[in-house]
Amino acid sequence: ANKKLLVLPGDGIGPEVMREVLRVIDWLDRRRKVTFDLEEGLVGGAAIDAEGAPISDATLAKARAADAVLFGSVGGPKWDGLPFEKRPELGILRLRKELGLFANLRPAIVLDALADASSLKKELVRGLDIMIVRESTGGIYFGEPRGIETMPDGRRRGVDTEVYTEDEIARVARIAFELARKRGNKLCSVDKANVMQSGRLWRAVVGEIGRSEFPEVELTHMYADNCAMQLASRPKQFDVIVASNLFGDLLSDLAAALTGSLGMLPSATLGAPDSAGRRHALYEPVHGSAPDIAGKGIANPCAQILSFAMLLRWSFGLEEEARLVERAVERVLAGGLRTADIMQPGMARVGTTVMGEAVVRELEKL
Amino acid sequence: ANKKLLVLPGDGIGPEVMREVLRVIDWLDRRRKVTFDLEEGLVGGAAIDAEGAPISDATLAKARAADAVLFGSVGGPKWDGLPFEKRPELGILRLRKELGLFANLRPAIVLDALADASSLKKELVRGLDIMIVRESTGGIYFGEPRGIETMPDGRRRGVDTEVYTEDEIARVARIAFELARKRGNKLCSVDKANVMQSGRLWRAVVGEIGRSEFPEVELTHMYADNCAMQLASRPKQFDVIVASNLFGDLLSDLAAALTGSLGMLPSATLGAPDSAGRRHALYEPVHGSAPDIAGKGIANPCAQILSFAMLLRWSFGLEEEARLVERAVERVLAGGLRTADIMQPGMARVGTTVMGEAVVRELEKL
Ligand SMILES: CC(C)[C@H](C(=O)O)[C@@H](O)C(=O)O
Ligand SMILES: CC(C)[C@H](C(=O)O)[C@@H](O)C(=O)O
């Protein structure tokens, strides 16, 4: 059977960067006999406008039936005024929750060609290669009770609940330990165990899994505030980091920003494997919908293309093809092409399409 | 009546850096006829060891009776194994909560003499001067219900509750707006209103206060993840930032780390003024107890001394004296003295005492 992909370009620059991935998919079909069945769907503001909700049940059903979802980005000023339950972000939140995509893998990598782009001093980031594993279906994002209530005296009160069961912590910890084992064998688990009860449980469970299942992985625990500090000052001390949904959200964006090349960073969000070993998975760039540059043809398609490389690796075990795509992107950069977001003196500034075409050209050569 | 100060040196380097502040207090008494009544108390691990709890009721009573509390830092490996309710950190958490110290003011400043110390490129931080206002008696730090429970199936579940009433948000917002008005007239309010209900309320209340009471202050709203990114990449865009207890914890530590000179950063935590205009307040350095260097005489006393300068300003309106202390510290740095944490090539490395003495020598000259 062919590999079934659901493509959800979303809003803003989503559709234009997604178009460049299609070139890579086409190349895989022609040259490597790796063939995908593509379906397309709407998500975010685009879905709100056309279907009345940030993601329709039909699209969710397609996502469930697919082997993998390739996601663009959602949101934009047009939908900013909408009430909570109708916002574009709910498209991605529902996908994560309903497909059980609990492990969000966020690499923060500094490619040699782009080491100058970081706001950090070059020697602090050259060769940086961190993997942040963020829990993504639990914690304060979904915990009940939640809401804004009016108290007897007429005043309002906003409530959210951070909840983690030990199973939720254990399964994401296992993913992080496994990744660490394949990489530098170092895992840093992040929490606020000095203040939060869920953090205490987090620390205890990660510690137990480490001792009993991954004794060979060097495990450390760090408070979230300290981790933010350490990332900002000595990021290369980290290999794999695992954190709750909320801490992972902040820390992975922080790590991404430190690379200076947000337009280059992919992510994967994985579910649990079923008895046949199949798992739901969604792949999306770290950058958002960037409404300010949408439609101008200048967005960087690399993060979307590299998200597709992660898809090849994680959903289909196509490690070789994943590497080819990653190498092609690196070579394009080494050759001097740059989109506006990563432009440097002496390089050639190009638009979205030229960048995408260049990646395919490098693939042809590999 | 004399000014009543409660001094709580705490653990680790706390006592040794506090000793240097006493020199400054002595100088104020001798040269400026500004006289303090000093009491001392135990907090953190020191209090656990001597009094059986991270802060005793007697010490809390003294804190309540004082005009201001000068706090060192708490914690260390010796007490790491203790159960939640007995940890050193509870000393500071109880002080904040029971004295109603809801507004934690955390300046992130890059002094010219130390611009090279930042992990960020110099041009991105030179002249940086941000004030982060962190709510410090509410949110997930104290919300109920909280705890670790065992579910019917025997598995554990950790719960914390983020709660904010509109009054809690309004009072910290007002402090932030007032600060912004005295500074660059720009306030950035941080939340996750796209995910959290308390964040939606936060955004609404800060917006209302801005429109009705501070229309002249330019107010923006930013998601916490984006704020972490923006701080790490273009910190100078900010003037005053206001955030919840948890986001403020991470973001203020991040901003502190970006300055590269944590050993220089003070903080103030203020309560509400009573009918006579008196407010409880606590002043503490941003750095922790640094157990690894405790007792070696090499800790940087500047953050503790600058915390005392904030105390002069905020608790006693002694703006002139506060400035003198701040200028003395700047001059010592300009003169080339450095403790180990901020050491740079070509400078003179000194210990805690020499640094403290040098500050007093500069005060004598001012
Ligand atoms: C879109 C938003 C709900 C989301 C989040 O907070 O999880 C985003 O910041 C992300 O990290 O994917
Ligand atoms: C000591 C600890 C409880 C504390 C906190 O998280 O508030 C610390 O990180 C701080 O910022 O003062």
The pLDDT tens digits for A49-63 are: 999 999 999 999 999
Cis previous bond, A145, omega within 30: yes
The answer, yes or no, to whether any atom of ligand 2 lies below 6 A from the CB of B256, is no
- Binding site listing of B: 76-89, 96, 106, 134, 225, 249, 253, 288-300
Nearest CA to ligand 1 atom 1: A89
- Binding site listing of A for NAD(+): 76-89, 288-300
Domains A1-102+262-366 and A119-259 share a fold: yes
Strand partners, B348: B337
User: Average pLDDT of A64-73?
Assistant: 97
Q: May I ask the CATH architecture of the domain B1-102+272-366?
A: 3-Layer(aba) Sandwich (3.40)
Q: Give which of A132, A142, A157, A262 to mutate to test B binding, by max B Cβ within 10 Å.
A: A157
pLDDT exceeds cutoff 90 at B279: yes
The answer to whether residues B267 and B133 touch, using CB atoms and an 8 Å cutoff, is no
Residues of B in contact with A120 (CB under 8 A): 119-121
* Confidence (pLDDT) at A2: 84
* Confidence (pLDDT) at B2: 83
* Confidence (pLDDT) at A60: 98
The answer, yes or no, to whether any atom of ligand 1 lies below 6 A from the CB of B195, is yes
CA closest to A255 among chain B residues = B229
Right CATH for A1-102+262-366 from 3.30.70.960, 3.30.465.10, 2.60.120.620, 3.40.718.10:
3.40.718.10
* Confidence (pLDDT) at A84: 82
Compute the half-sphere exposure of residue A356: CA atoms within 13 Å on the CB side of its CA.
24
Identify which of B124, B200, B250 has the shortest CB distance to residue A250. Answer: B250
The answer, yes or no, to whether any atom of ligand 1 lies below 6 A from the CB of A93, is yes
User: Average pLDDT of A96-116?
Assistant: 96
Q: Could you give the CA distance from residue A54 to residue A11 in angstroms, rounded to a whole number?
A: 11
Q: Could you give the CA distance from residue B60 to residue B72 in angstroms, rounded to a whole number?
A: 15
User: Average pLDDT of A22-42?
Assistant: 97
- Element at B38 (helix H, strand E): strand B36-40
Ligand nearest to the CA of B269: 2
Q: May I ask the CATH architecture of the domain A119-259?
A: 3-Layer(aba) Sandwich (3.40)
Strand partners, A40: A7
φ/ψ region of A277 (left if φ > 0, alpha if ψ in -120 to 50, else beta) reads left
The answer, yes or no, to whether any atom of ligand 1 lies below 6 A from the CB of A322, is no
Q: Could you give the CA distance from residue A248 to residue A172 in angstroms, rounded to a whole number?
A: 12
For chain A, the average pLDDT equals 97
Q: Could you give the CA distance from residue A7 to residue A14 in angstroms, rounded to a whole number?
A: 11
Identify which of A141, A163, A253 has the shortest CB distance to residue B228. Answer: A253
The amino acid that residue B200 corresponds to is R
pLDDT tens across B155-190, in order?
999 999 999 999 999 999 999 999 999 999 999 999
B158–A87 CB contact, under 8 Å: no
B157–A229 CB contact, under 8 Å: no
B197–A256 CB contact, under 8 Å: no
Between A138 and A278, whose confidence is greater?
A138
Cis previous bond, B145, omega within 30: yes
How many Å lie between the centroid of ligand 2 and the Cα of residue B249?
A: 7
The whole-angstrom distance between A143's CA and the closest CA on chain B is 9
The answer to whether residues A18 and A7 touch, using CB atoms and an 8 Å cutoff, is yes
Rounded to 10 degrees, the C-alpha dihedral B213/B215/B220/B224 comes to -10
Compute the half-sphere exposure of residue A154: CA atoms within 13 Å on the CB side of its CA.
0
3-state secondary structure of B43: coil
**What is the pLDDT confidence band of residue A80, given thresholds at 50, 70 and 90?**
confident
Compute the half-sphere exposure of residue B338: CA atoms within 13 Å on the CB side of its CA.
16
Q: Could you give the CA distance from residue B231 to residue B220 in angstroms, rounded to a whole number?
A: 15
* Confidence (pLDDT) at B85: 84
The answer, yes or no, to whether any atom of ligand 2 lies below 6 A from the CB of A58, is no
- Least confident residue range of A236-250, B31-45, B70-84: B70-84
* Confidence (pLDDT) at B92: 96
Identify which of A120, A157, A198 has the shortest CB distance to residue B119. Answer: A120
Nearest CA to ligand 1 atom 11: A249
User: Average pLDDT of A226-243?
Assistant: 98
Q: Is B84 exposed, middle or buried (0-12, 13-18, 19+ CB in 10 A)?
A: middle
**What is the pLDDT confidence band of residue B231, given thresholds at 50, 70 and 90?**
very high
The whole-angstrom distance between A34's CA and the closest CA on chain B is 37
* Confidence (pLDDT) at A108: 97
**What is the pLDDT confidence band of residue A188, given thresholds at 50, 70 and 90?**
very high
The answer, yes or no, to whether any atom of ligand 2 lies below 6 A from the CB of A343, is no
A226–B89 CB contact, under 8 Å: no
3-state secondary structure of A72: strand
Q: Pick the atom of ligand 1 nearest to A136's CA.
A: 7
Alpha helix locations (H) across chain B?
14-32, 45-51, 57-65, 89-98, 122-125, 166-182, 197-213, 224-233, 245-259, 302-316, 319-334, 352-365
User: Average pLDDT of A212-219?
Assistant: 98
pLDDT tens across A125-155, in order?
999 999 999 999 999 999 999 999 999 999 9
Distances (CA, A) of B259 to A120, B115, B255, B256, B341: 12, 8, 7, 5, 12
DSSP letters for A246-262 = HHHHHHHHHHHHHHT-G
Identify which of B162, B232, B249 has the shortest CB distance to residue A162. Answer: B162
The answer, yes or no, to whether any atom of ligand 2 lies below 6 A from the CB of B95, is no
* Confidence (pLDDT) at A85: 84
pLDDT exceeds cutoff 80 at B91: yes
The whole-angstrom distance between B10's CA and the closest CA on chain A is 17
pTM: 0.97
Ligand nearest to the CA of A247: 1
- Report CA Rg, chain A: 20
pLDDT exceeds cutoff 90 at B52: yes
**What is the pLDDT confidence band of residue A239, given thresholds at 50, 70 and 90?**
very high
pLDDT tens across B257-277, in order?
999 999 999 999 999 999 988
User: Average pLDDT of A240-250?
Assistant: 98
Residue given tokens 């501070």 in the structure block: B214
Query: Which positions of B are annotated as active-site residues?
Result: 141, 192, 225, 249, 253
**What is the pLDDT confidence band of residue A209, given thresholds at 50, 70 and 90?**
very high
Ligand nearest to the CA of A101: 1
Closest alpha carbon to B298 in B20, B80, B5? B20
For chain B, the average pLDDT equals 97
pLDDT tens across B112-129, in order?
999 999 999 999 999 999
pLDDT exceeds cutoff 80 at B1: no
User: Average pLDDT of B210-215?
Assistant: 98
pLDDT exceeds cutoff 90 at B81: no
**Residue ranges per domain, chain B?**
1-102+272-366, 119-259
